A and B are shown apart, each in its own frame.
Chain A
């Protein structure tokens, strides 16, 4: 064997070793081999079973909340500066696309106070642009740069919360990612292997989990109208009305008048966990952060015998009388079973969602269906590839062995690439794999037919092999590059499934150029290197 050939042999061997290592590592036992294989060749949810959710963050909710807060602050600032106003209100964008159209309307500014009003808004509300509608009415619109920041921030915070909740559920393998592209920036993809009924997870992810502990200023009232009537038709400043959750066996609705600002909110929690009271009923108990405990201690100390309300997502969960000073812990009672108690603890500790969540897509593949897909896919693959190899061996004899080796190596490289890139094998990926195998067979056939032609034209064996590879090379490059070009477009503009197809195909094509052109040629050269006077070739 000459030195060039030896170098090539070493090169090919190294590539094979790197690939095999990537796929199965260095196993010491059969069990370890299976384990490494399963870790490295990761199957998509459509093959191994599991659920996938696409959810959309309703960014407009965050814009509305921002506007509401601004209105509250604006009221305070205007009062401070002695600027009287008529109405302060905001519009109500419903769709995600309209989030940016949020605006605050200020009506009835006295004409001589317009200058002061402008001054307040421009100096203290930098995120807003001030436009005048008429002499006394104004419109505040959110600055586009600020809107971009708020959008991004809302999606990021939602994603963090969702990640926390998924982790809290113990779904170690689950992944949470943002869907790319400017159009889908508010979409989040959650993939959960092994989960075949995501109903509970869906409701946990969707829970806003906005916890507030608030002082009770009055009540209970049987309905909103009664509550208003008792307060002379208008709510006192800094208060709001909220309804208590309808409990089983209770008679009718009850409403309470609450302080607008909460004493403690979900952000003040250090942790929360399910627990049982002395009667064995499930509840969620929580502890507060240091800062909040001090605040809560001060508040409860000075409000003994007054009432406190636990409010979750704007619904009163329970109302209790303060018996003594409470510092760092509390309980939310009346929840139900253990699952609800731990779900609530989970949503509370994971943080609240800054905006609502809607589901756009849900895909579940049950474990039996996934197993069937793998079984069927394998059977079809083995039969298909088996027949291909058989035909190649019968049709091309010795050269068919070359082709078979190249084909197997191609599959090995492709699998190794998937392992090294951490890509997952999905059904569309298998489609890409099949096309790769087809193209690999084609490359070999092209080369062999060329060699046969050259032999028929009376060229010597070695010259024919050289010419066969040389002439087929240009064709192989053309067919491969054309497909790679199309894959680039599919990857850039296609959906997730199409992307999986494109990636597998491109990797397979690159592997194929290597195996069909380089490795197969090397095997020929090696076989021919011993005998310079070779007159026949088994092809």
Chain B
């Protein structure tokens, strides 16, 4: 099966609508960044806490926000995944000193507002197996030894966290667990309650560390880009390296811009996704450039832009197939990958689209403009003998 065979589209002739679309997207992204005062950093980069909570019933974002802001200073952001009732609660943390108590504050506030618990009883949704064992030990001492008590407690939390995916619903649902006798059940009913939510994860980053991580991520990315530029400049020509890096930069700016427009957070995993798309886009660009380098000596009579266009066409089927396949992987990650990977896969989905067309409509035109500009400059000065295209000469030496 073949889809594209000997295509000859005039890509470079149709570049302007795409370049304009790029400029519009870039401008919109930058505009959004300016209006919102920079990207919306996740706690990794600004400090704060994020609590991942799964609720039994749908609780509105506002309800949570109002309940928490009564106790916790600063802005509180509540995001909800509508399909699972999973909620991400972000709080601010400006003072390094508030760090130690931050988790307890969030947990206690949630418990007093949504727990529905009774003082003195343990919350079966959120305690670990050691606490359950503490409650069971005395009452069941006649029938079970210490090891059995611990194993049973462990079985209860495992059942809750795997089979029930975090939410027990009520104590009776435990009767399915191996070893939970009616006696155990009645002990638990007396000593425990089941809160209609579970705290599934907690992240806390101090503001100082956040700022450090931010500058570290930025430096690493910029240096990585510079490294690629040097390598490509060394393997091809400087302008090739520059064009590839500009194209990749363009992809990154548009993706970050879209993150800002859709009000999504930039976290450490999103940085990993940005690096991934930088890799993909760079890969795409190099494939086209490689073909240009290969074609130049063979098509010496043709104009440079014809060579570029032919190269794009020759690599078109590979470009679309590769991008299509990686796009499918990214979409599958976006659809099935869960809340944790959402930002990551969103960046990939956007990045692959932008990255694919940037090698055709951004990187390649830059090469041609540079060539035209060089030639225009050369024709103003007295012609030197044997002004063969530099790239062609270089390409030969590489071979």
Contact = CB atoms under 8 A, between A and B. Distances in A.
Contacts of A373: 338, 340-341
Interface in B138-196: 157-158, 160-162, 165-166
A498 B128 contact: no
Contact of A380 (B199, B212, B235, B333): B333
Contacts of A518: none
Residue with the highest number of chain A CB atoms closer than 10 Å, among B160, B221, B273, B287: B287
Interface string B93-117: 0001001100110000000000000
Interface string A446-464: 1001001100100000000
A387 B324 CA distance: 11
Contacts of A471: 294
B279 interface: yes
A434 interface: yes
A498 to B, nearest CB: 6
B282 interface: yes
B162 to A, nearest CB: 6
Contact of A371 (B2, B161, B216, B268): B161
Given A363-B203, A475-B286, A489-B220, A482 B272 contact: no
B198 interface: yes
A485 B269 contact: no
Interface in B1-56: 1-2, 5-6, 52, 54
A193 interface: no
A486 interface: yes
Given A364-B203, A368-B160, A449-B317, A497 B268 contact: yes
B325 interface: yes
Contacts of A183: 212
Nearest to B226: A489
A438 B322 contact: yes
A360 B223 contact: no
A361 B207 CA distance: 9
Contact of B341 (A360, A368, A376, A488): A376
Contacts of A495: 213, 216-217, 220, 268
A394 B1 contact: yes
Interface string B252-278: 000000000000000011011101101
Given A395-B321, A498-B217, A388 B161 contact: no
A362 interface: yes
B209 interface: yes
Interface in A418-445: 427-428, 431-432, 434-435, 437-439, 441-442, 445
A445 B337 contact: no
A505 B216 CA distance: 19
Interface string B339-353: 011001100100000
A434 B282 CA distance: 16
Residue with the highest number of chain B CB atoms closer than 10 Å, among A373, A387, A490: A490
B336 A380 contact: yes
Nearest to A493: B220
B329 A385 contact: yes
B220 A362 contact: no
Given A369-B52, A376-B336, A395-B1, A474 B290 contact: yes
B336 A383 contact: yes
A176 B279 CA distance: 33
Interface string A370-406: 0111011101110111011001101111000000000
Interface string B227-245: 1101110010000000000
Contacts of A438: 280, 322, 325-326, 329
Given A366-B200, A367-B157, A428-B268, A387 B328 contact: yes
B228 A377 contact: no
B224 A434 contact: no
B279 A361 contact: no
Interface string A107-148: 000000000000000000000000000000000000000000
A86 interface: no
Interface in A480-503: 481-483, 485-490, 492-495, 497-498, 501
B201 interface: yes
Contact of B286 (A364, A387, A479): A479
Contact of B165 (A372, A394, A474): A372
Interface in A314-370: 358-369
Contacts of B275: 431, 486, 490, 498, 501
A493 B223 contact: yes
B336 A489 contact: no
A197 interface: yes
Contacts of B158: 367
Contacts of A172: none
A471 B104 CA distance: 61
A163 interface: no
Contacts of B247: none
Contacts of A197: 128
Contacts of B220: 489-490, 492-495, 498
A363 B291 CA distance: 47
Residue with the highest number of chain A CB atoms closer than 10 Å, among B1, B273, B340: B340
A56 to B, nearest CB: 9
Nearest to A195: B128
Given A377-B341, A493-B216, A368 B161 contact: yes
Contact of B268 (A202, A478, A498): A498
A380 B335 contact: yes
B366 to A, nearest CB: 17
A196 interface: yes
B204 interface: yes
Contact of A360 (B206, B231, B283, B338): B206
B197 to A, nearest CB: 12
A54 interface: yes
B202 interface: yes
A199 interface: yes
Contacts of A501: 272, 275-276
B202 A364 contact: yes
A67 to B, nearest CB: 24
Nearest to B276: A435
Contact of B161 (A366, A376, A482): A366
Contacts of B271: 497-498
Residue with the highest number of chain A CB atoms closer than 10 Å, among B225, B235, B268: B268
A495 B217 CA distance: 7
Contact of A358 (B6, B99, B204): B99
A493 B219 contact: yes
A481 B285 CA distance: 14
Given A366-B52, A483-B282, A494-B216, 8 more contacts: A363-B204, A367-B161, A368-B160, A368-B161, A435-B279, A479-B283, A495-B216, A497-B268
The 7 closest A-B pairs by CB, nearest first: A376-B338, A368-B166, A384-B329, A384-B332, A486-B224, A369-B200, A368-B161
